Chain A
């Protein structure tokens, strides 16, 4: 790990470009800028490079923080970052490492290719289920090109209904129309629906589909303050399904390490710079970033921090127009996930077989389970039966979990005691479907949303930098700045809070870098 040691207070620096935030998208932005021969510095406030995706310690061991499988990233994007075949395990495709949807007594390995999933479930699934699944997968693959185009394209700017806007909408509409009239209507009809209704349309009430429905809801909605009966969540499901049509089996933590090395090789630096204090500007031009460790002057700035932090803390609401400030304040950023790490002395395996098949494991035995887990969050409580998403370290003894339906504002307040209660809910749930026993636990780390905020700088612990409800998807991050611009002409917004959001994606960062000459 090559990064400068903590710099002295009040130290001043000057570079070409400053990137705020060392999460994977920030590092990628820095690499792209360095490749353009810019002198780049990445400022990170926490003790972990990669933010929530970096590696952090549990007890005595350092382990991957949140090794989320790399859905959605393309080979072209990796090449553009200068990665040859050796720097990342390109041959480890997502196809080999399915997402495993677990119930209490069985699981469904959800592969990249549906035929693989079907093959795995032969003998388990009824004829009706196989047929329904096939039709569902056909529907997804028909929608996929359009959804992917939407995800990788620009958002139309609704504040300026000029020819550009008409063109942008018309081309999307035409693409939609060329799917065919029936398919177009089906997609238009599907998008605003609750996920529960969409899946009910496709699978009826087939018992075989319970785990699939639960797993899909959990994976596509966890962390968004939404549940399967919420309208608009079909859009989240379609986005999740369509974008995982390609990807790689390595996790984001591995990507962070690789990006760090690449950046250093290119002469860029990553600095543990303490908390952001402000982005100083004059005449709508950013001039320098001030943190608790010093200040950095530059001609261009890219922020991959969440938009509330960038604009309200960094730029300051007095330096932008009222509408923009209002819209930023109104962004819904309610974190509702916790990150938990467990160090075990015994390898973790499922109750129903000797090892987990998937690299990304989800426990949500049914849709009702997911909905019931979500209810308490609305009332300031965490779910006693939470939804769990996790990955295992190579020896299956370290577990990195995302625990869903854990509110930022806990009625009882977050403390060591309530964190302990949350841990108990997690381990109790693990015992339901795995070999876990309390005697296996060596040490643990529990990061509730408030801890995530203080440790990783995520406003309200919102791991996606902004909930992905429908209204916040179509104007992401805020309606005034969906094009990577900001109230300051040389400050660009990249990061998870930008369109399309939800997974690692280079679209926003590419667009930001493109605008830097």
Chain B
């Protein structure tokens, strides 16, 4: 599907900068509507941060994102992604090892989970299904918000007000306690919110931590309960809170979307980095590549984050000062890193558990809330956590295609690794080895033979995420998912509907509503907005 010859049309309906999953989704929908679309990717392969790479021969790493859940099911249907090679294998477990004892594992089988949780608290085991039900209710409601454009509260437009009223009615339909629960989820910390249901630290720690992934929050920071929900909303085949691996790594998702886009006639070029966006009389007329080629288009859509798009490709000089000042306040602060490893064999966790069933999902190094909060405290003052939170997956257990027989891939998401360390972000490369060592030391406390299993380590600091994967400040969501940066405020007030102040320039990635998390929603909604406004 990737063009070999570097020959371009004289003019395209739309150029999409960046073949990340949102850019590709946007391109696919535009192409499906009959538009002549060109996708330009700087790197040598598709996916952006949703990418699979053979970093070590024989081993396929999901270098950045490593699980899928929130990808909108209707996009999978509408783009026929299964036909184009997408297969999602559900994660079967969520395991949290402890320093002593078998730790806690939650299973797809609710009876097994109940027995495990009862070891720590009977009351919690009873409450667990109730919590799941409450989250599902809110998820059903929140789903509506994700799949639509953000409402604009400043508008006097009757259709906007009508949308708000309809939203209000939906609130009412969920019962008298619903608004309050919804408000609590938006404003409480994930730890406090969970404490209203549960008492045991062993359960609260791994549950609260999904509230802080990709954010600069601790589990006890107000606002983290929202991100808990954001991650709870994932659904696969109609089942909420189920996560999965894409067979072949996360890049398989991007490749499937790319194939769908190509099938509808989109052109996709790699090794074609964009230098800047051409402007004429304040209007985007096309792009200039790093190699000097100029390509014209009726409009340009950026699949990169807002800073890269507007300060990078457009340039601050071409922006109104007020807009630029406002956009600069959009917070990007990356807080995570990634360590991927090729393993010669499975490490042995000292939990006394039989077999490997409990390792086939995600493994959370989150032994206690105190551990997690201390990890966060360090980040506040510009250090990476000495004992970080790790979210580990070993996809080769479920998808043997990603490693040679008997060998394994281990992917570790690491928090906290603040982009803005106290020595300054450019100091990160000097800390890379120490960072990798910290991660391996942490794993060693739970799997003492890890070092014997390692064939290769790839460590990505927030600096690397920025330099190599185009994520400004290493922020995996193209901008923090805090309340003041969502909905009509994302990425900045007044520009939440995928348009930018530059005529003909649109944004379609995670820096726009509804945000990050491999949803595909920004890409789809941007395309549909563009088509409806006849911009393309």
Contacts and interface: CB of A to CB of B under 8 A. Distances in A.
Interface string A71-114: 00000000000000000000000000000000000000000000
Contact of B176 (A159, A181, A379): A159
A232 B154 contact: no
B381 A368 contact: yes
A137 to B, nearest CB: 19
Contacts, number: 89
B183 A379 contact: no
A470 B484 CA distance: 13
A479 B176 CA distance: 10
A226 B374 CA distance: 16
B222 A231 contact: yes
B220 interface: yes
Interface stretch (B184-192, B294-302, B427-435): B184-192
B348 interface: no
Interface in B368-414: 370, 373-374, 377, 380-381
A127 to B, nearest CB: 19
A160 B176 contact: yes
B484 A229 contact: no
A212 to B, nearest CB: 20
Contacts of A161: 168, 171-172, 179
A190 B484 CA distance: 7
Interface in B459-486: 482-484
B484 A189 contact: yes
Contacts of B196: 330
A158 B222 contact: no
A6 B153 CA distance: 59
A192 B483 contact: yes
Given A158-B179, A192-B484, A230 B188 contact: no
A226 B184 CA distance: 16
A425 interface: no
A481 B36 CA distance: 59
B53 to A, nearest CB: 35
B183 A471 contact: yes
Given A190-B484, A197-B331, A474 B183 contact: yes
B192 A232 contact: no
A173 interface: yes
A142 to B, nearest CB: 15
Interface residues of A, number: 41
Contact of A159 (B179, B373, B377): B179
A297 B184 CA distance: 38
A226 to B, nearest CB: 7
A208 interface: no
Interface in B62-88: none
A506 to B, nearest CB: 26
A332 B192 contact: yes
Contacts of B187: 192, 232, 469-471, 474
B514 interface: no
B177 A159 contact: yes
B154 A379 contact: no
B183 A192 contact: no
Contacts of A185: 154, 488-489, 493-494
A323 interface: yes
Contact of A231 (B172, B192, B217): B217
Interface string B220-243: 111100000000000000000000
A191 B187 CA distance: 11
Interface string A218-254: 0000000010011111000000000000000000000
A207 interface: no
Contact of A226 (B153, B180, B222): B222
Query: For chain A, what secondary structure do more than half of its interface residues adopt (helix, strand, loop), or is it mixed?
Result: helix
B377 A184 contact: no
A55 B488 CA distance: 51
A166 interface: yes
B344 to A, nearest CB: 40
B533 interface: no
Most chain A CB inside 10 Å of its own CB: which residue of B172, B380, B488: B380
Interface in B239-266: none
A188 B492 CA distance: 12
A483 to B, nearest CB: 15
A314 to B, nearest CB: 23
B72 to A, nearest CB: 26
A479 B180 contact: yes
A343 interface: no
A441 interface: no
Nearest to A228: B380
Contacts of A191: 484
B356 interface: no
Given A159-B176, A330-B196, A471-B187, A188 B489 contact: yes
Contacts of B484: 188-193
Given A159-B176, A160-B176, A231-B223, 6 more contacts: A184-B153, A193-B484, A229-B380, A379-B373, A469-B222, A471-B222
29 contacts: A158-B179, A161-B171, A161-B172, A173-B153, A185-B488, A188-B484, A188-B489, A189-B489, A192-B483, A193-B482, A201-B329, A226-B222, A230-B222, A231-B483, A323-B177, A368-B381, A372-B381, A378-B373, A379-B373, A379-B374, A469-B187, A469-B192, A469-B222, A470-B187, A471-B184, A471-B187, A471-B222, A474-B183, A475-B183
Interface of A: 158-161, 166, 173, 177, 181-182, 184-186, 188-193, 197, 201, 226, 229-233, 323, 330, 332, 368, 371-372, 375, 378-379, 469-471, 474-475, 479
